[in-house]
Amino acid sequence: MSAKDSKKAEEQVRLCYSTWAQSYHADYYASAGAYPPVHQDIVRDVLKRSGARTLLDAGCGPASMLRSLTDLGLELYGFDLTPEMVTEARRVMSKLPGERLWVGSVTDQSAYGRCDYDAAICIGVLPHVPASADAAVVENLFHAVRPGGTVMLEARNELFALFTQNRYTYELIAQRLVPAGALGAEGAKALEALKQHFRMDLPPVRKGKSGEPGYDEVLSRTHNPFELRALFEGAGFRDVEVLFYHYHCLPPMFERELPELFRRQSVAMEDPRDWRGHFMASAFIVCGKRP
């Protein structure tokens, strides 16, 4: 993706979230219908074990994660791409000095403010970053923490598509697994026929609220946990670990048919180190330490 296209994608993401600031936390963290925010427990556990005293949230949104960490005695900082999100974060975190929450992009090294945080987290951001900028984000996070500091970077799990049996499965097969260009016309025909085996109408496309582009209408990528782990290790992180969350006890199309069973059994499966997370969890956090 060219620099111009990358800037355009970033602007679309900013527009997507511009009308979401006041309801985002309620929609994804506090709603009775939302899946429990189990990743908060993962982040809290890692932070407690790290002994961190200062924390940066790169892409903090409306302080969705920061507001859940105020009891840990941490000195908290955060920035976000969307000004409306920063305004809401400052309102929610009114006890923090206003300068500790600012507008900035995770792809811009200068946005991180300093390079001696004990820990840095980046949650819900990487899906909106162009593939060409993944390495820069990992490098920026590496340099944002002091030697011995901890970084946690969250991503949507590309391999989960192997379990969903919907259009995500087809797209993973057709775009990532099968060398379609080498199969010729017969191969293309076979791939087209493959669609009948999956629910191509699912999941529904998430649209915006007031004419702005929705989540599925802007750049919203998934990541391969093996590749992202390798990117961390290549950047110099040590003790790199992949921690899975938001498990699905059945392919997600069954959630509407069996809501109580689906939620109960999925939550019961939550174990960040279970190997089944590679396929049954829709998200993961890569955690590493700067030497």
Q: What is the pLDDT of residues 148-191, one digit of tens each?
A: 999 999 999 999 999 999 999 999 999 999 987 778 888 889 99
Segment 129-148 shows an average pLDDT of: 97
Cα 107 off chain centre by: 15
pLDDT of residue 66: 97
Contact criterion met (CB below 8 Å) for 198 and 162: no
Task: Please give the model's pTM, rounded to 2 decimal places.
Answer: 0.94
Token pair for residue 73?
């005695």
pLDDT of residue 1: 67
Q: Assign 3-class secondary structure to 216-271.
A: HHCCCCCECHHHHHHHHHHHCCEEEEEEEEEECCCCHHHCCCCHHHHHHHHHHHCC
pLDDT of residue 205: 84
Distance CA 182, CA 129 (A): 29
Q: What is the pLDDT of residues 34-58, one digit of tens each?
A: 899 999 999 999 999 999 999 999 9
Q: What is the pLDDT of residues 250-274, one digit of tens each?
A: 999 999 999 999 999 999 999 999 9
